[in-house]
Each structure stands twice: as C-alpha cells, then as structure tokens.
Amino acid sequence: MITKRSIAVAVAAACTLGLGLTMDAAVASGGASGPAVSFKAQGNIGEVMVNPYRIAPMTAVVRNGGYTVKNAKVRVVPKADGQEIKYDVSDANVRNHGGVPLFGLYADYLNTVEVEYDRVYNGKTEHFKDRYQFYVPPVYMHSNGTDGQSHTTFDATVLKMDKAFSDRLYFVNNLVRTPPQASRFVWNNPMGGALEWSFMPENGIIDSTGTLRWYLMPDINMYDPEQPYKAGILMGFQQSSDGNLIFGYGQRYAKYDMLGREIYNRRLPMGYADYSHAIDGAENGHTFLRVSSSDHRRPDGKRVHTVRDVIIEVDENGSVVDEFLLWDILDPYRDNLVKAMDQGAVCLNIDASKAGHTMTAEELAAQDASNDFGDITGVGTGRNWAHVNSVDYDPSDDSIIISSRHQSAIVKIGRDKKVKWILASPEGWKKGWAEKVLTPVDAKGNKIKCEGSKCEGDFDWTWTQHTAWRIASKSKGDIIYVSAFDNGDARGMEQPALAEEKYTRGVVYKIDQKKMTVEQVYEVGKKEGHDFYSPVTGLAKYMDDKDSFVVYYSTPGLYTGDPKSRMTPHIAEYKWGQTEPSVLIKLQDTMGYQAWPFFVEHAFNPQAK
C-alpha cells in the first residue's frame, strides 16, 4: 500500500540523490514546475557558460542572471609573462549573448577573468567589479593519420617581437592536409571542378608570446568532411566591418561572431560551386566570392564544372546581383605562365615527384583535346587556367581587383566586365589585353627597360602571387597602391637552374591608372632568399593602425627532397619602409594559408572609435 509517509520518504531520497550528484555548494537546478534556477554564480549576475555555441572552446559567457547588464568591460588576467587581453563590450553584444562574452582564455588552465559592468534591476543601477575563475579544457584537433602532424594548434616560437607590436593578436588560417575522411567526392554531372579538395581546418588566434588564445572547432552541424555540402577547406577568413568573421568552404560561405554564434551559413547559389581562397565584404553590405560555374558549356559542346574562374556578388539575402565570368573577360588559352610553372606545387596540387617539371605546348594541346577536366594545370575552361586566389572590391570606381595565380597577373575589372589594367609581364597577351598591360616606371616616372619578362633595376612583376589588395588609406583618385604576396615560382617566366634560387616577396606597387604606369615602391623578403620561399598560399597586407606591413610566409619547406622535411610558416611584420621584420613568429609542422592581425576591441565593441 502506498501511504503519505512512503511518498515523503521517496521524495526525500530523490532530492538527496539529486544533490549528491552535484557536489559543488549552492549548485542545484529547479524543476520545470517553478521559477527556481540556481546554478552557481561567482559574481553578481549569472553563471559562467564555457563554449556557449559549441565551436569556440576558448570562449565563455557570464550570463546576465535575468538582469539588464550595461557598459561591460573584460580583462583576462594573463599568465606569468603572458599578454593581457582586455576590451569593452557593447550593450548590443551583451544582448546578443544573454550576458558578457569572454574571449582570449587559456586552454587547459584555470582562467581568471575580471568583469566590470552596470547592473540594472527594478529601476536601480549598481556598478560591480567581479572576478571569475573557471577551467578551459585542452585544445582538440583532428588527426590526418600521418607523421606530418605532430601537435595541436599551434606550435609557435616567437623569434622577434618589437615592443611596439606586443599587443598584437594574429589570426592564423592554416590547413590539415589530406585527411582520409575528406576528399572522397568529385563532381560527375557535369565533370570536373574542385570538389575533391577538402583539407581539414586549423584556425586559431595567437598572441604576441605565441600562445593560443582562441580556436575554431567546427561541430558536425557546421562542418562534416563526409558530407559534400558541408565539406571543403575553410579559407579566406576576414574580420568584417562589424568585427565578425566571414569565410567560406567548399559549397558554403558563412559569417560567425567570435563566440561561435552563427550569423549566417549558406549554400552557394545553385549555379555556382567550389568556393575557395577569396571572400571580400563590400562597403554596401554585399559580398564578393571566388567560385566556379557548376555547369558551363564549352565552345566544343562539352559541359563542365569550371575551376576557380568566377567571381559572384551576393547581397545581404544571398541573392546573386552580378557575376564576372573570367573566361569571357581574360584569355583562358594564354599558356606562357602555365608552361613555366613548377608542376610539383600548383597550389593545392602538391606532388614532390613532379618538383621542377614543367608542361610543354604539345602536352597542353593534347590535354585540351581530351576529356581531362578538373582542378589540374591546363588551359581552357574546365581546367585550372586562372586560379584566382583573391578578389578586392574598389568602391572608388565600382570595380574589382583579382589575383590570377596561373596567369601571374593582377587585373582590375570594371562593372562593365572590361579589363581596366593588367599588372603582369607583357608576354603572351593578345590584342585587346596587351594594350591594358601597365608600363613599369621608376620613382621619377621614367620608363624602365624590360625585355621579355625581366626588367632592369629592382622592378619585378609578381609570380604565382596571392592577395592582391588595394591599400585604401594610401590611394587617392587615379593613384592607387596595391599590395601582393609574390610567391615567386616561374619568376621571369622560367624555372631557375637550382631550386635554391627561388624566393618569395611581399611587395607594394603604386599605379597611375590614367597614365597606365606602375612603380614598385616597397618590397620585403627578397634578402631572406630560399629559407622563406613559399611555393603556394600566403598573404601580404598593409596595416593602418601601426603603419606596418604583414607578410605570412606560409609554406617554407613544403618540399625539399627530404622525406622528413617539415613546413615552417613565418608571420613577419615590418615597420613601413624597413626590410628587417619587427615581428617574426615561427610555426612548426603546419601548412599555412593566411595570417593577419586580429582586433579584439573591434569584435566586441565595433562602434567604438
């Protein structure tokens, strides 16, 4: 028989069991039938929730506890000899996260965070300064199952750090090469494309001591290498004007905040495929994406996925408002550079057995008559003839600047889809394009003598370059400055006698768009020579805040002939005009793509001046 006494005993036992499962004092959870919620709060608002959106494990939120919280400030107490991170938080960010967002925590560590804020309740405003302590777990990274991966993100050594840069944070966009779970798919309707490239992500933020302070660990809802429409290489990260991250991968492009909150994550529009390398947020809220055509009929009637040769512009809703089909704008059969490139390192196609080999005109002709399509070196649509790896919108004349690696060309294209100018060697450009090639000049405006693909003095074009970006703060009217990461393969339209002669530069050009001239005004990296040579990937970017030039030498040591060789990317930052870096950080055993300064205050208080 069930009596009132037996019910009371059972309830008491259940309550005792519940409290026994949560040993921490004052940690209990009210049931669904009442308003009591009493998770342990260390301060004067709510509890701490670590990794609130599941993909940014080194972040947290101090929940508002049901109060209105305003004017929040955060300071992450550094480790001994560590870098302090502190920032203001906009009220909008507090509302977005239901509390105060915490960023810059240490992994596998009992963190201490100081939070200052105004608490508003029942018409009364009180000011508090709270101190929180909580543990953040170790870093987790996926394995690619090879001996080329020896650690988690990132094994960084600071070789040089000028005091003027000691407050820097660097966002590192690296890659985990060739995981067996990925790269299982190819397009077959129609053929070709770049679907097979699906390296795993390795993205994080390091401070000026080389310590990891944030990393992205995508969950299966965001990224799944075994699902074609959730796979792909996470590439082209930029911190947008509102402080958040924009990037793309495979068949998607996305925007997230620094705590991992999804703002949007969209499939590419149906007519396009294979995002990689480049995304650019325009001032009007539109986004430019480097993609390909998902269904293109060639002049010979063959239907193909094209490869890295389309730019689309999408609006805030994801609708395509314009497209730039580069096979109609440039010459997809200009093969001068394609024949000179090192076939061992054609960006993502990396094969040490082909190091130093080049292609002949006969091989290209035979290929073009075949059905060999896909992300392979070649000419004509359906092959990797352009390999556009950056796009930059120029609002001054409503145009785009692109970097075409396999043409070794930086090209400006107007809204009318006409080429405005070409920064490249004049070799191989047919009528209609040859007239658009810029003329090299010296500082006095005198024409520099050039023969073939080589010029007198220090002037040089870029070779298999990345990140051709307009420097807005230095540009005015028809005079614009453009930075680029000059990888340096096929320099002078040839392979050198010795591979050790190859080098990589960060370079800045001054272009007079009216006179159609170009002057080389600054270069770094040349004197470092082959030690910093990066055959693929990389970044060069001018930074207004410190009048400096950041260069990410992304793939030194990619292949050396030694099977035990390891890649050693270097982040370097130079004071403008200097050739010795003020910052030099070495990353060990990782394949680099891009790295750039990240601004925490912009991420959490973007309206601040």
Looking at the structure, tell me whether residues 73 and 218 fall in a common domain: no
Residue 69 placed within a domain: yes
In total, how many domains does the chain have?
A: 2
Residue 259 placed within a domain: yes
Give the domain-ending residue among 136, 165, 194.
136
pLDDT at 178: 77
Looking at the structure, tell me whether residues 462 and 589 fall in a common domain: yes
Residue 448 placed within a domain: yes
362, pLDDT greater than 80: yes
DSSP letter assigned to residue 13: H
290, pLDDT greater than 50: yes
Residue 146 placed within a domain: no
Q: Residue 54 belongs to a domain with what CATH number?
A: 2.60.40.3100
Looking at the structure, tell me whether residues 121 and 188 fall in a common domain: no
pLDDT at 19: 39
Average pLDDT, the chain: 92
Looking at the structure, tell me whether residues 192 and 331 fall in a common domain: yes
Rounded average pLDDT over 522-547: 97
Residue 150 placed within a domain: no
Residue 16 placed within a domain: no
Question: In this structure, is the dihedral angle defined by the CA atoms of residues 194, 197, 202 and 208, taken in order, positive or negative?
Answer: negative
Check if the beta carbon of residue 71 is closer than 8 Å to that of residue 91: yes
Range of the domain at 129: 47-136
Give the domain-ending residue among 104, 136, 168.
136
Tokens 């340096």 appear where? 488
Rg (CA), the chain: 27
Alpha helices in 166-240 (DSSP H): none
pLDDT at 357: 79
Structure tokens at 529: 């020579």
Looking at the structure, tell me whether residues 87 and 115 fall in a common domain: yes
For 135-149, the pLDDT digits (tens) are: 999 999 888 888 878
Q: Residue 457 belongs to a domain with what CATH number?
A: 2.120.10.30
Alpha carbon distance 424, 412 (integer Å)? 12
Looking at the structure, tell me whether residues 409 and 277 fall in a common domain: yes
Looking at the structure, tell me whether residues 200 and 68 fall in a common domain: no
Looking at the structure, tell me whether residues 178 and 55 fall in a common domain: no
Check if the beta carbon of residue 74 is closer than 8 Å to that of residue 87: yes
Rounded average pLDDT over 64-92: 98
Query: What's the distance, Cα to Cα, between the start and end of the chain in Å?
Result: 73
For 371-413, the pLDDT digits (tens) are: 999 999 899 999 999 999 999 999 999 999 999 999 999 999 9
Question: In this structure, is the dihedral angle defined by the CA atoms of residues 546, 548, 552 and 553, taken in order, positive or negative?
Answer: negative
Looking at the structure, tell me whether residues 175 and 119 fall in a common domain: no
Residues facing 486 on adjacent strands:
505
Give the domain-ending residue among 80, 101, 136.
136
Alpha carbon distance 441, 446 (integer Å)? 5
pLDDT at 383: 96
Q: Which of 36, 88, 99 is nearest to 63 (CA)?
A: 99
List active site positions: 466
Residue 42 placed within a domain: no
Looking at the structure, tell me whether residues 124 and 166 fall in a common domain: no
Looking at the structure, tell me whether residues 388 and 494 fall in a common domain: yes
pLDDT at 347: 58
114, pLDDT greater than 90: yes
Residue 503 placed within a domain: yes
Check if the beta carbon of residue 83 is closer than 8 Å to that of residue 104: no
Check if the beta carbon of residue 207 is closer than 8 Å to that of residue 58: no
pLDDT bracket for residue 344 (50, 70, 90): confident
Check if the beta carbon of residue 469 is closer than 8 Å to that of residue 281: no
| Phi then psi dihedrals of residue 435, to 5 deg | -70, -15
Looking at the structure, tell me whether residues 315 and 405 fall in a common domain: yes
